[in-house]
């Protein structure tokens, strides 16, 4: 969705969730890589709040270039 001059993309699943203490383990290198690539493009990357059994939500945001 476009929010003013920003593009925001969210994706969620209905899995078991991703506990904060699990995010630094070997299984989460995919998230680390995603966060690094988004940061390299000047964007923001957020993992939604942890709710046991409530799935996982990732949100990426990027500034849109001015038209012209």
Chain centroid offset of residue 19 CA: 15
pLDDT at 1: 92
List the beta strands (DSSP E) in the chain: 2-3, 6-12, 44-47, 57-63
Task: Supply the pLDDT for residue 32.
Answer: 84
Closest by alpha carbon to 59, among 23, 13, 24, 12? 12
Q: What is the pLDDT of residue 68?
A: 65
pLDDT at res. 17: 85
**pLDDT of 25:** 62
Contact status, residue 49 vs residue 4, Cβ threshold 8 Å: no
- Tens digit of each residue's pLDDT (9 = 90 or more) over 2-61: 888 999 999 999 998 888 777 666 655 788 889 999 999 999 999 999 998 899 999 999
List, edge to edge, every strand of the sheet that includes 57-63: 2-3, 6-12, 57-63, 44-47
């Amino acid at each position: 969705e476009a929010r003013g001059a920003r593009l925001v993309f969210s994706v969620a699943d209905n899995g078991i969730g991703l506990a904060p203490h699990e995010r630094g383990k070997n299984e989460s290198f995919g998230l680390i890589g995603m966060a690094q690539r988004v940061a390299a493009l000047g964007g923001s990357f957020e993992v939604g709040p942890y709710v046991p059994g409530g799935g996982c939500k990732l949100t990426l945001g990027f500034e849109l270039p001015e038209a012209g």
